[in-house]
Amino acid sequence: MGAGQRINLQGNHACALGAIAAGCRFYAGYPITPSSDVAERMALELPKVGGVFIQMEDEIASMGAIIGASMGGAKVMTATSGPGFSLKQENLGYACMVEVPCVIVDVMRGGPSTGMPTRPAQGDIMQARWGTHGDHPIVVLAPSSVSEAFSETIRAFNIAETLRTPVVLLYDEVVGHLVETVQVPDPGSVARAERKWATGAREAFQPYAATDDDIPAMARPGDGYRCHATGLTHGERGLPTQNPAEVERAMQRLLGKLERHRDVIDRFETFAAEDAEILVVAIGITARAAKRAVAEARRQGIAAGLFRPVTLWPFPEQPFRALAERAKAILVPEMNAGQLSLEIERLSGRPAKVARINRLSGEPIEPAEILKTIEELARHGR
């Protein structure tokens, strides 16, 4: 990133500006607290770059619209919060199946149902992974600061475009509404990934061909390929199929596509984690509290460390496993009843050593609480 400028930004606005910087030119959304600022900022910014903002009749329509626009060739985004995210799930699944690049922002609030619209939570971790039905590939990025809201949005677009996949940007209300100073790079200095467009003879073109990188080139309407896109299981020609071998092959490629490109996807942050005996794993605003707790613990001589998956899904398993093996205990603080901890227990190899701090009150978890638990773990083990 170039020099740019430092400005004070709210997390949601940072997300919107990140999207613009990444080349987003189409936004469709429906108001929902605490995500509405994203839409408002997009409505303000998109016309300036010749993009289109539209407020649709609901979240389903917003999701449909961005997929439609993306199939037309645009870089697209929508933002919502838990209830709206639920509504988007069917079309999100369509985007996975048809491999349509798009970015979906979910600013988490208290739930389930209408819950606490203005209070933070981290209850959509599993919905972000398994929200739509059926096995499907999905990338979920979890920024924990305003600055990251900006940069991870850019990364979300680049992953989406590169890998032809929907990318969910998942952060909590605190990150969304937090105002921090952000280094915003100059326009043009942001590295933007572009979709692999179909080229060459139409006759030879197959819209879902298993290419070397498992990422099929996309045909842009009007370029002469006249392809078919369908949410039905389809073969390499894009046409519906129920041929078992063909279906198996297509689904294996679809699901394997992200694994093959973990280098593009994976991102995580560690803090004092190399020799940590007590490893804290957290995302979003909770990770920031955890980081402070870990720093204080170290100051007290406790070998604590932090592992923060910035790419939440697919979970950066390999780096985590390496740290987890060494740790005596793992602590997962999260603003939910225990979603991330499920994955951590699975990956830790020894679920018994995973401790949790769960918060459902709508209040963020304080560093002191985390520190207290670290101290207890250090005293008593697990």
In the bound state with other proteins, the residue whose beta carbon lies nearer, of 79 and 178, is: 79
In the bound state with other proteins, the residue whose beta carbon lies nearer, of 3 and 239, is: 239
H or E stretch at 281: strand 278-281
Cβ at position 23, least distance to other proteins in Å: 7
Cβ count near 224 (within 10 Å): 11
Q: What is the CA radius of gyration of the chain?
A: 21
Cβ at position 147, least distance to other proteins in Å: 24
Whether residue 100 contacts residue 136, with contact meaning beta carbons closer than 8 Å, is answered with no
Cβ at position 347, least distance to other proteins in Å: 34
Cβ at position 186, least distance to other proteins in Å: 12
Q: Calculate the dihedral angle through the C-alpha atoms of 229, 234, 239, 241, rounding to the nearest 10 degrees.
A: -150
Cβ at position 20, least distance to other proteins in Å: 10
In the bound state with other proteins, the residue whose beta carbon lies nearer, of 21 and 276, is: 21
Cβ count near 16 (within 10 Å): 30
CA-to-CA separations, 377 to 187, 322, 326, in angstroms, rounded: 47, 20, 15
In the bound state with other proteins, the residue whose beta carbon lies nearer, of 226 and 372, is: 226
In the bound state with other proteins, the residue whose beta carbon lies nearer, of 240 and 349, is: 240
CA-to-CA separations, 199 to 211, 219, 225, 253, 342, in angstroms, rounded: 14, 8, 9, 21, 44
Cβ at position 42, least distance to other proteins in Å: 12
**What amino acid is encoded at 329 in this protein?**
A
Cβ at position 196, least distance to other proteins in Å: 14
Cβ at position 221, least distance to other proteins in Å: 4
- C-alpha 265/C-alpha 316 separation (Å) is 9
Alpha helix (H) residue ranges in 240-316: 244-260, 262-265, 284-300
In the bound state with other proteins, the residue whose beta carbon lies nearer, of 48 and 380, is: 48
In the bound state with other proteins, the residue whose beta carbon lies nearer, of 227 and 357, is: 227
Cβ at position 313, least distance to other proteins in Å: 22
In the bound state with other proteins, the residue whose beta carbon lies nearer, of 237 and 260, is: 237
- Structure token digits, residue 338: 């225990």
Three-state secondary-structure class, residue 107: strand
Within 8 A by CB and 6+ apart from 244, the residues are none
Within 8 A by CB and 6+ apart from 257, the residues are 137, 163, 164, 165, 214, 215
In the bound state with other proteins, the residue whose beta carbon lies nearer, of 49 and 337, is: 49
- C-alpha 9/C-alpha 45 separation (Å) is 14
Tell me which residues touch other proteins (CB under 8 A): 23, 25-26, 28, 47-54, 56-58, 60-74, 76, 90-91, 94, 188, 192, 194, 219-232, 239-240
